[in-house]
Structure 1
């Protein structure tokens, strides 16, 4: 029997998830697996799922239906419960199992960039924004040993993010962007570029800046980070690793990360 998977969200045409998953299937020889994309908006996930037969094995979920995915999951991983976010649904005998692979994606992208966990433990990491993606970033930093985290937000840190930090024993301090060992931008769209002024002075040696946007390297924020001496990591690196974890969960096979990275980086270079 064929096996099918897809990414769901709205808008969805820009998603590189099909490219990454299909690259994994090709490398693994999973010729009976296919991966598609469907435009599914808020409030539309439950009826969409109800119409899928047993050939559908899993879904990657992006905005604006991550909250709907959390509600639709019959069971949730501890990580999904901890962050209050589901970006992955996998079919089980008991219904859809929800997981959050964004945390893994953030952590692995930072480690690939050479971030020293000791610097996270001893320093003060900074997160730009405090929404759902910021909660995944917070969990990744906590898993790397952070006991203090700072947020740069327009108003105040969202209650759910504050609650997650408190549950993990992480204190929330005032931000020091130039002195941070790592900064993670979770602010969507061009609004993040208004924060480029935070990099007007030289930064701590070895600072890693992860910007979750696809084209992070072509933004005013990227230029400011480079001028200040920081090391920018684009969102494609996080996307590859979170997709690799989804491949493991959906297919049961170890993901071919190198092949997925090559496909993702080539796609970004061509854009």
Structure 2
């Protein structure tokens, strides 16, 4: 394919994204001739964007963030098994041909979570809990499955929401964001619990993944602090990376636990995207990771 390749991250809003820094650093190291930009795309425009992109041979790959993950999953031609199970994607690759490109959707968020937790010292089959029951919680459930867990406890901020999720599963609903449905597809039991039990659960888990919006766990942090638990050896990953450290992360660290910013998840999901986008040009994984770390101010591995 002649000329410079093109890639981008899509979302709305998108101005805060760190993905351009990560991808550009990797492409520069690899000598891969591909631009990478942030493009603001609203959810209603996702299908039209995909249709136009498939006709442009310059497109090499797309990173996809909120609120487009489900809409773009419906706009591609194929989904990898994990994206299919979750009902959402965060990555699109292009296979260009005479009639336009075939688009394949992938989900690298799960490996992003797993590798961030592994780097922080999380072991196999931890006792895991997920805070929140939205779209990112589905990726968290899948991450625990990849780590060898057969069950995971999910704490929804609304007890009614948890009940609704259970009912949704029993009715066989196609709602993609349903954590119980995702668990069933992946063979991991999802136990849904009311939010007011979450603080106590945090004192007993090996690994906690917080999937709430920024500051969404502030009140939980105060309740957790009041319990005075020691968390040495336990890991908390907060998917929201601004502000950092979050109040729940501060509480966890004060209790002796290990904290992982969402930026680590972003790093590792981007590494997998770079692998997909660059193909045979991908090499020296450790060095690629370190130049990406340097681009966003993370410590070298």
Taking structure 1 as the reference length, the TM-score comes to 0.91
Deviates more, 1:86-95 or 1:197-206: 197-206
2:203 pairs with 178, 190, 202, which one?
178
Give unpaired runs (5+ residues) of structure 2: 169-177
Deviation of residue 198 (structure 1)? 4.5
1:98 pairs with 102, 105, 114, which one?
105
Mapped partners of 1:128, 1:216: distance in 2: 18
RMSD over equivalenced CA pairs, Å: 1.8
SS in 2 for 1:54: coil
Mapped partners of 2:146, 2:134: distance in 1: 18
Match of 1:45 in 2: 46
Matched-pair contact (CA < 8 Å) for 2:232–2:255: no
Mapped partners of 1:205, 1:128: distance in 2: 20
- Whether 1:71 aligns to 2:74 is yes
Q: Tell me: CA distance 1:216–1:148, structure 2 relative to 1, closer, same or farther (3 Å).
A: farther
Give unpaired runs (5+ residues) of structure 1: none
Deviation of residue 92 (structure 1)? 1.5
Match of 1:215 in 2: 242
- The structure whose Rg is larger is 2
Count of residue pairs the alignment pairs up: 262
Deviation of residue 266 (structure 1)? 5.3
2:17 pairs with 12, 15, 18, which one?
15
Deviation of residue 29 (structure 1)? 1.3
Deviation of residue 35 (structure 1)? 0.3
Q: Please list, as runs of the form range in 1=range in 2, the aligned pairs for 1:128-147 lying within 5 A after superposition.
A: 128-147=131-150
Q: Please list, as runs of the form range in 1=range in 2, the aligned pairs for 1:16-31 lying within 5 A after superposition.
A: 16-30=18-32
SS in 1 for 2:133: coil
SS in 2 for 1:44: helix
Deviation of residue 138 (structure 1)? 0.7
Matched-pair contact (CA < 8 Å) for 1:214–1:235: yes
Match of 1:192 in 2: 217
Matched-pair contact (CA < 8 Å) for 1:59–1:89: yes
SS in 1 for 2:122: coil
Matched-pair contact (CA < 8 Å) for 2:50–2:72: no
Taking structure 2 as the reference length, the TM-score comes to 0.82
- Whether 1:164 aligns to 2:182 is yes
Deviates more, 1:80-89 or 1:9-18: 80-89
Matched-pair contact (CA < 8 Å) for 1:90–1:250: yes
Match of 1:6 in 2: 8
Alignment deviations for residues 157-214 of structure 1 (CA, whole Å, 9 cap, x no partner): 3342111212333223455211100000111122222221342222443110000112
